[in-house]
Chain A
């Protein structure tokens, strides 16, 4: 008799514990519900929808018509403008990514010292990363102006006659590459954070072994920083495939499509010519390109990225 209440209590306790766990599980879903709903409605849904739209011909007026792989075929065999926009973007990426990574890393190395006033420069170099938008695109449009632009005036002082940057099919793209390098500040901040994480002892040990500054850079800093460099490389490649505002403001794709970037062509296809299906196919090809580039970098990374605590291969 006396021992009877005990199991009941325990059972009730157990039930409430399970109930509590169940409630916490529901609760967890409630907390993430806004994101989950948004993810389905604004990310996953549209992502899949654009896949289906890419097989249709639709201009928002007539009902959509199934055309199968037609848009993809057009892109690769029948649309020199698409090829041009793709090659332009590749050209930009090939020069932009290494340049901005090296400049950011170099500056981070310079600024990674306890010197008075160094913080001011960190702030200064970061500045263009936050002002990137229409205003600075307008600024650069005039920096590269043939007659009264900053660049050609500076070259003029050196006795060089500068090219008509944005008006020349040859020089427009280099102008974009120069302009984009200006925004290295956000990468630099990442590298500075990464440099703080390199253990002092490694440098001390290297010094004991008689390593020069150059040795320390190549054999300690770069390997220890390689995960950060790798991460920023992937993000920069993805970002450089999506350049839009600068192109829209500075050149509108000209001259003669020399700066027709991928997203600019996508924007025009979708929102000016209302080729919804074709633009969706373009978006999916962009997605596949980015996915492929990321996977390639990921597989190559095994050769050079070193994660601390892991034996180098």
Chain B
């Protein structure tokens, strides 16, 4: 009885507060609750990653104990060294880096050229071709996979990096679209002014449009990096020789080796190691990922 009266009185005092004050109190409560939900969600979400890292630093006997200790008793950094040197991971790292860098250069060049063409020049059939470009984004990659393989096979490009790099120089529909959308947001007067000063289109493209488009180019670079670094099906089809593999294929080979011994800690160490470049790029370029998504504006 007492308690209920107290509760009533408390409500009374809350009600008697001025409206803006009541609102402040309510906002504070709501925000605290939201924070709790978000933080809890974030922790649950991160558990697989933290488990991966902590497993990579344990010893085998620790892993086989049930329940597993949350953290390693002694942090075993040398697991990374053992895992990395047990197979030619260094070689595979450089292969992957080479394919990724060449793909980025090719993509940036070909996509920005085409995007400039679609955004700034007028030519017969431009709109039709742009529609073709848009609809080609809807074509599943796998429908053209087999004939593309046959072409590269015919050219004798199997077991080389060419099938994984050369197509980048011929543009990717999505990135052309993204860059075009960005180019269209640049003031049109720039183009006119530069023309009056006697610049030709190539000059305008190279000296004016590209330097102004750094955020969009950064977004394309970031996306291409991730796609290329994580690609699995492409290397799986085209690369066979052990010395020519990429990290994705190498990890897959490592998995086969580790299945027999059950050396989960080494498996996780190798996996974490291949993720490090991605994490670095992501943390330095995270802004560009988000911007890249918003440039396309989804409006078509």
Query: Footprint of B on A, CB under 8 Å?
Result: 21, 24-32, 34-39, 41-47, 49-50, 53, 60, 107, 110-111, 113, 115, 118, 121-127, 130-136, 138-143, 147-148, 150, 153, 156-157, 182, 186, 189-190, 193-194, 227-228, 231, 238, 241-242, 244-245, 248-249, 263, 266-267, 270-271, 276, 279-280, 283-284, 286-287, 290-291, 294
Q: Say yes or no for B208: interface residue by CB 8 A criterion.
A: no
Interchain CA distance A107-B40 in the complex, whole Å: 12
**Is A150 within 8 A of B121, CB to CB?**
no
Interface residues on B, range: 35 or more
* Contacts between the two chains (Cβ within 8 Å), count: 244
Interchain CA distance A35-B132 in the complex, whole Å: 11
Interchain CA distance A190-B110 in the complex, whole Å: 26
Q: SS class of chain A's interface: helix, strand, loop or mixed?
A: helix
A44, A53, A139, A267: the one within 8 Å of B52 (CB): A139
Q: List 5 A-B contacts (CB under 8 A).
A: A28-B122, A31-B205, A47-B139, A47-B143, A50-B147
Stretch at the interface among B6-14, B83-91, B97-105, B225-233: B225-233
Interface residues of B in 229-287 (CB under 8 A from A): 229-233, 236-237, 247-249, 251-252, 255, 264, 267-268, 271-272, 274-275, 278-279, 282-283, 286
Contacts A46-B147, A135-B275, A267-B233 given; indicate if A150 touches B45 (C-beta within 8 A).
no
Interchain CA distance A283-B141 in the complex, whole Å: 9
Interface residues of B in 174-232 (CB under 8 A from A): 176, 201, 205, 226, 229-232
B37 — which chain A residues lie within 8 A by C-beta?
A: 110
Smallest Cβ distance from A68 to chain B, in angstroms? 19
B144, B151, B226, B289: the one within 8 Å of A189 (CB): B289
Contacts A143-B51, A270-B145, A283-B145 given; indicate if A148 touches B68 (C-beta within 8 A).
yes
**Is A245 within 8 A of B233, CB to CB?**
yes
**Is A138 within 8 A of B251, CB to CB?**
yes
Query: Footprint of A on B, CB under 8 Å?
Result: 31, 34-35, 37-38, 41-42, 45-49, 51-52, 55, 63-64, 66-68, 109-111, 113-114, 116-118, 121-124, 126, 129, 132-133, 136, 138-151, 153, 167, 169-171, 173, 176, 201, 205, 226, 229-233, 236-237, 247-249, 251-252, 255, 264, 267-268, 271-272, 274-275, 278-279, 282-283, 286, 289-290, 293-294, 298
Interchain CA distance A44-B150 in the complex, whole Å: 15
A245 — which chain B residues lie within 8 A by C-beta?
A: 232-233
B41, B66, B109, B232: the one within 8 Å of A248 (CB): B232
B111, B122, B171, B247: the one within 8 Å of A24 (CB): B122
Which residue on chain A has the smallest CB distance to residue B55? A142
**Is A35 within 8 A of B114, CB to CB?**
yes
Interchain CA distance A5-B145 in the complex, whole Å: 63
Interchain CA distance A268-B267 in the complex, whole Å: 26
